[in-house]
Structure formats: C-alpha cells, structure tokens
C-alpha cells in the first residue's frame, strides 16, 4: 500500500537554527512527493514538490530531495525564522489520491 | 479569486443530528476531496470525486455521504452524528492535468464538534 511516515514532533528551535524533518514513504509505482505547510487556523498550502527521483524541490529557503534508494524526502532549512512556526506535512500522490503523514509541529523561538 | 470555500467554519451538533458541510471551488477543478484531521493525526481521506457525477470512497467513509452534481460543488453529508466524528474537515481540489504535481488547493476547514 501507500503510506507516509514522518518525524514526530513537536520540534522547538531557536531562530537561525538548522531544521531537518524526516520523511519516508512506501508506494507502488512512481509517486510524486510534496511538503505542505499549515499555519494556525488555516488550510494546508503546498510548500514544495518533486515529481521524480533525484529532483530537488525548493521554496522560501526550504529544500527536499527525492531519494528513491532510501524512499525518503527529508525537509531542510538552513536558518529558520519565527514566521516558519507551523505544522509541516509530508505527502505523496499516486493515481487519483494523496497520502499525508501525521504532520510535524515546529515552533521557532526568538 | 475565492479558491476553495467551505461553510460553516464552526458547528456544534448533538448526537444523532445530521448536517451538510458545503464546499465550492471556482477554479474549474475536476478533482475534489474531503479529508478529516484529528488532533495529532494526519489527514484521512473520506471521499473524493474525479468529476461531476463520479464519487468514490476514501480511507474512512463510514458515516458520511457525498454527491457531485456540478463541477463546482462537493457537499459532505453527515448522517446520525456521533462523537467520533468530532474533527476538523478540509475540502480540497485539483485540476486533472496537474494531479501529480501536488497543486492541491485547500479550504480553510470546518471544525465540527458532536456532543
């Protein structure tokens, strides 16, 4: 079956710290992989995506590389800001459906 | 440009009552989805639709019904509400041609409490 497993939170970091949120997946076929972000009281928004192996998605200083050999898509940012505080979801899409991880809550303190 | 609009934003129901969560999108998207999000959990797919007149069950369909009479609208019906249906519900949509690029657009969510 298809599933996504991501690092449990919550994660608390100081401003300008390095961020890694781990994500691994199980899928049939060749899925596309995504990171979504959810700010308090809002719906999810697409943060970045990668549609094939070795692709790197990037946006707003966040990056993730589609690693087929390790079935991973870890999210990284070199220097987090208070405004990055949110819940981050790893997801995959295959066929007509999207599959989401459980989400990782990030709090960045000044 | 409204995107995906859900109503109501908040609702309290008594056990056994019924209600409909409304979802409308103005982007002419073929694909529409209903998810529920429970505290500390990821999103679980309830139902989805690939076009008007076509619906299919997701991972957790029991206790819910949907219809898709138009491209724009995808209402979710809760029959005989139970406390286990207390959750935040999200409607989302995507264009058929971009289904694998992750451009899934979400509404702001509907928080439902069943007492």
User: How far apart are the C-alpha atoms of A27 and A23, rounded to whole Å?
Assistant: 13
Residue B5 tokens, joined: 């609009």
Flag whether residue B92 sits within 8 Å of chain A, measured between CB atoms.
Answer: yes
Contacts of A102 (CB under 8 A, 6+ apart): A6, A8, B40, B41, B42
Contacts of A82 (CB under 8 A, 6+ apart): A15, A108, A109, A110
CA-nearest residue to A93 within chain B is B100
Task: Give the tens place of pLDDT for each residue, A6-16.
Answer: 988 899 999 99
Task: Give the tens place of pLDDT for each residue, B43-96.
Answer: 899 999 999 999 999 989 999 999 999 999 999 999 899 999 999 999 999 987
Indicate yes or no: CB of B100 within 8 angstroms of CB of A42. Answer: no
Indicate yes or no: CB of A51 within 8 angstroms of CB of B100. Answer: yes
User: Which of A43, A51, A102 lies closest to B41 in CB terms?
Assistant: A102
pLDDT band at A2 (very low <50, low <70, confident <90, very high): confident
Q: Choose among B51, B47, B52: nearest CA to B62.
A: B47
Indicate yes or no: CB of B41 within 8 angstroms of CB of A49. Answer: no
Task: Give the tens place of pLDDT for each residue, A49-71.
Answer: 999 999 999 999 999 999 999 99
């Amino acid at each position: 079956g298809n599933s996504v497993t991501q690092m449990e939170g919550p994660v608390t970091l100081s401003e300008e710290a390095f961020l890694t949120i781990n994500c691994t997946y199980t899928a049939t076929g060749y899925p596309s992989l995504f990171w979504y972000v959810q700010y308090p009281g809002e719906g999810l928004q697409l943060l970045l995506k990668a549609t094939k192996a070795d692709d790197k998605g990037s946006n707003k200083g966040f990056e993730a590389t589609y690693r087929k050999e390790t079935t991973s898509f870890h999210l990284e940012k070199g220097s987090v800001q208070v405004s990055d505080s949110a819940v981050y979801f790893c997801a995959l899409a295959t066929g007509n459906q999207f599959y989401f991880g459980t989400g990782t809550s990030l709090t960045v303190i000044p | 440009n409204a995107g995906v609009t859900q109503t109501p934003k908040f609702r309290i129901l008594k056990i056994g009552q019924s209600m409909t969560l409304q979802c409308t999108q103005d982007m002419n998207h073929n694909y529409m989805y209903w998810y529920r999000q429970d505290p500390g959990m990821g999103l679980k797919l309830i139902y989805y639709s690939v076009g008007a007149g076509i619906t299919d069950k997701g991972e957790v369909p029991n206790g819910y019904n949907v219809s898709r009479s138009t491209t724009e609208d995808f209402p979710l019906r809760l029959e005989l509400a139970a406390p286990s249906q207390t959750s935040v519900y999200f409607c989302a949509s995507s264009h058929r041609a971009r289904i694998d690029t992750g451009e899934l657009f979400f509404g702001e969510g509907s928080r439902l409490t069943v007492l």
